Structure 1
Amino acid sequence: MTSSEELHKRRGAAVARGVGSTISSYVDHAGGGTITDVEGRQWIDFAAGIAVANVGNSARRVVEAVKAQVERFTHTCFMVAPYESYVAVCEQLNAITPGDFEKRSALFNSGAEAVENAVKIARHATGRPAVVVFDHAYHGRTNLTMALTAKNMPYKHRFGPFAGEIYRVPMSYPLRDGGLSGAEAAARAIEMVEKQVGAENVAALLIEPIQGEGGFVVPAAGFLPALREWATAAGVVFVADEIQTGFCRTGQWFACEHEEVVPDLITLAKGIAGGLPLAAVTGRAELMDAVHVGGLGGTYGGNPIACAAALASIETMRELELTCAAQRIETVMAARLRTIAERDPRIAEVRGRGAMLAVELVQPGTLVPDPAATAAISAACHAAGLLTLTCGTYGNVLRFLPPLVISDDELARGLDILDAAFG
């Protein structure tokens, strides 16, 4: 079998340098809460492919559904010759997303593509140009979604100019907000929009209910409901980017449900299809249907293999009660993280919901970010057999996204490694 070292050499000669990887070992197989490389070395997985493998990397129902679909047909393009599984996925999404109103869905390939289409739909339906986003936001790597994303390096650096009519306002970031309540933080953002943009010009307010790449920032209670209330009054489309938070990840099917916030449009991807590329926009029928025929679509959007995987994934989530699994993971993991924080003054905060948790590292006694310590601890985890990720505007957040099917033993072993990495 080809070694990781040999594969890394081949990669250097074949793969563009701009495509990075967290570890240098190459995967042979994965499942449950572990990943095994080509040399047989195993990692406990606290990344889940960046919140994609919620049902695991080789869930039985997903594997069986994909095999069956491949044998029938791999592609016709839904816009040319449609098929039932696309319709069935849309029916499922309309049923499980928040809101008891009539909904429609459209399927795409990636989270960025879903976000772009949500913006298109909001602009078309309202006739307005402006889109409001937030500090620390991450929405993708295409030209429009880079404009929506806050962080320069590595996502935006020297890739401009970017799309216009994008306006950024402050996020509720409890650790760094100086004690602002959720309502106060929302009022600050709304005042900025009304003074600098004008509510009558805003097509959409786009927000991650819990920020992902921005640092797993959980806004203060009341922030999201206040924004939702304002958007309704102003005729602004409220778009929840649930690409990383969706599909049971936070202990609810969708993170906005924690505060009973019902978005007009919701963007979905990552955990939707057990690792196959699929994304969606789901929302109010009158908004989704405002777009003319042919205005939405794409050659691969709602590919039949990905649709089969999505239906099997959703069935698996129900069968295994993965919202409850995420809550159990939070109970175990958050308690352990707080124990580590009690002895390590570099940890300024433990935060997150469900199986989407993080610690923010700072120089002790301050709020000065410590990205060097964050990188060193993550590297120590990798060396000891635990796959972790970093994130945050300041590069000082360790984030944890275990598969929701991780076993109690795998979770405990991973936490032991993390504990040792902090020293």
Structure 2
Amino acid sequence: MHADVRSLTEHRAAALALAAPLPAVDVLLDDADGLVLAHDLVTDEPLPRWDNSAMDGYAVRQADVTELPATLRVVADLPAGSADEPLVTPGTAARIMTGAPVPTGADTIVPVEATDAGTGTVVVREAPPAGTHLRRAGEDAVPGDVVVAAGTLLGPAAIAAVASLGRPVVRAHRRPRVAVVSTGDELVAPGTPLRRGQIPDSNSWLLAAAVREAGGIPVRFGPVPDDVAVLRELLAGLDVDAIVTSGGVSVGAYDVVKAALADEPDVEFVSVAVQPGKPQGLGRLPGGTPIWTLPGNPVSSFASFEMFVRPAILRMRGLRDVERPTRQAVTDEGWTTPPGRAQLMPVRWVGPDRVVRATARGSGSHLVARLALAEGLAVIPAEIDRVAAGDRVTVLKVSP
């Protein structure tokens, strides 16, 4: 355990360094939504697999429709999915539906709207140029093409591409199981009658929801009392991929997390030059499980998770881009900043032209009710002494 002071950037790098993509597992395509592909998916055949029609109409030879109207004998009826392989010879046509394979001999699809059907014949009134309305084999992908790359988040479009390859199973990184441990003798479960000095535990719910939003599987524990032996036993028995705690990391007399982890050589506690969220800890437990210990005030926990834990969870999922999107915004009013520390100010949008306003008069770490208004975090560099109305700031988008 070390005492140190870090910049926001340095601690973000240290927090992210604890994470690595989890091992790949075979997953049924039905269960792959939201997972991250672990290996490139390469096609071994052309996509589409054969020339097919892009319209309902008639497959014809262009040479037969150069003089219009043209009457052709219909030799086949080809719905989508048909395995028939008729031959279109001079003076003939095949009625064809969208998606059906184009018969040999045909080089043009005439839309049904440009024809008049007879008994066993069709009259072509208008004809497009040769090759029109044909989907050529291989125009989407050719053998050897990477159709879905490793690191792709499997959403609807990517899953459709996997299915188009005929793959019922994919190799993907599983979701990390993340233990959320909220500590403090003052905390009680929501709904419990409060005595003086007690407050409802909000952090375990906040962090569990944040883990879930980041794509992890939260395993929530809370509230946990300020008992070193109890906390040590809990941490030692966890079978999870990562742990995030809240509370007990400052310099007070009852900092249970620091006390419980004091003898762990691979866990360190530092001061980070940021407001809120100055007291932080991170490292690995003896079995190698990464742990991030966050301060207990709710806004501090929220901002610390965004800065230090969320990117790590995304990396564990196998994602390469682990950063929140940012926007440049103009402040509607000013606020003070802490000397020599970066500031993470919860803000909300108050105008159509990317105008933001702080959710409270300052970034107080205890203002959990005001936190519900936050749509972003304005990241103010340490060298900025004060934010004035009309200043441009960088905002992390944290609301859905």
Give TM-score scaled by structure 1 length: 0.27
Q: Report the structure number with the largest CA radius of gyration.
A: 2
More relative contact order, 1 or 2 (CA 8 Å, 6+ apart): 1
**More strand as a share of residues:** 2
**More helix as a share of residues:** 1
